[in-house]
Amino acid sequence: MNKLEEKIELYRKTARELGLKLSDDLIEAVTRGLGPSIYNRDSETVACSDKSELERLRENFLKKKLKLDEPDEVLDRAIEEVCEELKGLNRKYRALFYALLVRKFNKEDVYLR
């Protein structure tokens, strides 16, 4: 198993353990989309306590990647909900965080074509 496959399997296992009900295909697609960032301990995770990181996530992922045009308050609330959903995790994996946001906004078509 190569490193990418190991990461995908780790994220799938974590999602199952947390009962996130994310599809394996979505986890794999989001993980592949993150590229080399998943191999860096810092960029692999989302820090819910870092306001500037959450703002970048809103601007770069939700607005630019997913092309959402909802008001910032709606997007920020969705981010907060995902932070809460992953509260038990010390390491909030970016792949799972993004996959949950993709599902929340019904934007699976961005990744699953």
**Is-contact 92 54, C-beta < 8 A?**
no
- Report how many domains make up the chain: 1
CA distances from 111 to 3, 90, 95 (A): 21, 26, 12
Residue-number span of the structural domain to which 16 is assigned: 3-110
What pLDDT, in 10s, does the model give residues 35-86?
A: 999 999 899 999 999 999 999 999 999 999 999 999 999 999 999 999 999 9
This prediction's pTM: 0.95
User: Phi and psi (nearest 5°) for 77?
Assistant: -65, -40
What CATH code is carried by the domain that includes residue 16? 1.10.238.120
DSSP string, 14-72: HHHHHT----HHHHHHHHHHHGGGGGSTTTTB--TT-HHHHHHIIIIIIIIIS---S-H
